[in-house]
Chain A
Amino acid sequence: MMNFRLVQPKRLVDINRIAGLGRIEKTERGIRLGALTRHAEAARSELLAENVPIVAEAMAHVAHVAIRNRGTVAGSLCHADPSAEWPLLVTLLDGEIEILGGDGRRTATPAEFFLAPLVTDMEETELVTGIHLPPHETPCGMAFDEVAQRAGDFAVVAAGALVRVEDGRFAEVRLGLGGVSDTSVRAAALEDALTGRPATAEAIEASLALTVEDLEPNDDVHASAAYRLSLVPVLSRRVLGRALERATA
């Protein structure tokens, strides 16, 4: 943002050396990632690999090696690019964003936190200190995929899925989409329609039309709105299918 001269702060505080802001730990409420957790650390974390393997799968799409070494979870969330991986992950995983300000601590859901492209509900005096990823029922399968113009570019469209199967039926279906709206979104209509249905590829196929309902993506230099819309069912099929395989493997 500073390199593009989009922001020209008079004062800049480097939080990189604040001890304890970069931990990944198990808590009573799930898993907490400190604000300074680097993308590369999240990708390597055994704790995340065991509990939320979709994180490592998504991190492979975040920019490039040197960027993943320095870029942070909180940095991605606060930048609030609707095509970015972390906003999509916290939206998919029902995560909570932990914020510290002059008035103390608060938490925000993704729906509360992300207001518009590059806009969050943060006050100037606030700092994101970490995120909580709540536990989910197991066994479940997760999958992430995206289409970008080049490896490491921001996604044109990104999709993440979480699927849980009981007695041959979808007990839980979550589908998150990035790049198709002002913020990362959940495909609520598809989630509702699939839950309780037989856990099959055919059921997924029959529900895909629901993914584009209510989506009004924008045209921009990276892709037309029509192209983005055409990618949504393609990526949704892929991630839901993979998540289903993993849920029943």
Chain B
Amino acid sequence: MSDRTHITLTVNGEPFEAYVEPRLLAADFLRDEMGLTGTHVGCEHGVCGACTITLDGVSARSCLMLAVQLDGGDVRTVEGLGTTREMHRIQQAFREHHALQCGFCTPGFLMTVGEILDTLPLRDDGEIRDALSGNICRCTGYDHIVKAVRALVNERDGVSDP
């Protein structure tokens, strides 16, 4: 065990500890060692956004971090949003607006949307597209994703859907 590092962290509200190889990617740790396979690994170099999680309340690419860097952190993954029976409002909106096709990119989009709804005005679809530009959907289903986010923004702002 001597070549492993002890880390403690909170994942989706629950405390965990683990011994990890220093070279292990945070994304691989979440998927392979914690079994949280909702975090997807697409490009493995920080471009596609599928592996987006939040660390201490702000979004991060889990493929650009090592597991040891999660030590002491508060991690949220897509599993922390909701379940198939009790979906998070963002997940519901994606479902209502058919905002996923193959679904591979969806966890990353959901995590990003959670952050931008809290931090950005998202006044028009251009701003929504700009805020989502760090997540790639290779099915190219962007129109429906933007519609889902527009609905969420309208809800947030108390605006009725046009």
Which chain A positions have C-beta within 8 A of B134? Answer: 63-67, 152
Whether the Cβ atoms of A3 and B44 lie closer than 8 Å is yes
* Count of chain A to chain B residue pairs whose CB atoms are closer than 8 Å in the complex: 50
Q: How far is the CB of A114 from the nearest CB of chain B, in Å?
A: 23
- Is there contact, CB below 8 Å, between B133 and A150? yes
Interface of A is mostly: loop
* B59 at the A interface (CB under 8 A): yes
Whether B46 lies near A67 (C-beta < 8 A) is yes
The answer for the CA separation of A67 and B51 in the assembled complex, in Å, is 12
CB atoms of A67 and B116 under 8 A apart:
no
Interface membership of chain B positions 58-72, coded 1 if the CB is closer than 8 angstroms to chain A and 0 otherwise: 111101111011000
Indicate if the CB atoms of A67 and B133 lie closer than 8 Å.
no
When the two chains form their complex, are residues A152 and B45 in contact, meaning their CB atoms are under 8 A apart? no
Does chain A have a CB within 8 A of B18?
Answer: no
Q: Please report the C-alpha to C-alpha distance between residue A42 and residue B138 in the assembled complex, in whole angstroms.
A: 32
Q: Is A226 an interface residue (CB 8 A)?
A: no
Most buried by B among A4, A64, A151: A64
How many positions in chain B have a CB within 8 Å of any CB in the partner chain? Answer: 26
Residues on the A chain within 8 Å of B22, using CB: 12
Q: How many residues of A contact B (CB 8 A)?
A: 16
A67 touches B61 (CB 8 A): yes
Asked if A152 meets B133 with Cβ closer than 8 Å, knowing A16-B69, A65-B115, the reply is yes
B133 smallest CB distance to A (angstroms):
4
Asked, given contacts A64-B133, A150-B133, whether A69 binds B60 with beta carbons under 8 Å apart, the answer is: yes
B44-A66 in contact (CB<8A): no
Please provide the chain B residues from 91 to 149 with a CB less than 8 Å away from any CB of chain A in the complex.
112, 115-116, 119, 129-131, 133-135
Check: B52 CB closer than 8 A to any chain A CB: yes
Closest 4 CB pairs of A and B: A64-B134, A151-B133, A3-B45, A66-B59
A residues with CB within 8 A of B: 3-4, 12, 14, 16, 40, 63-67, 69-70, 150-152
Known: A65-B115, A151-B130. 15 other contacts (CB 8 A): A3-B63, A3-B64, A12-B22, A12-B66, A14-B66, A14-B68, A40-B58, A65-B116, A65-B119, A65-B134, A66-B49, A67-B46, A67-B134, A69-B58, A151-B133
Task: Give the interface of B toward A (CB within 8 A).
Answer: 22, 44-46, 49, 52, 58-61, 63-66, 68-69, 112, 115-116, 119, 129-131, 133-135
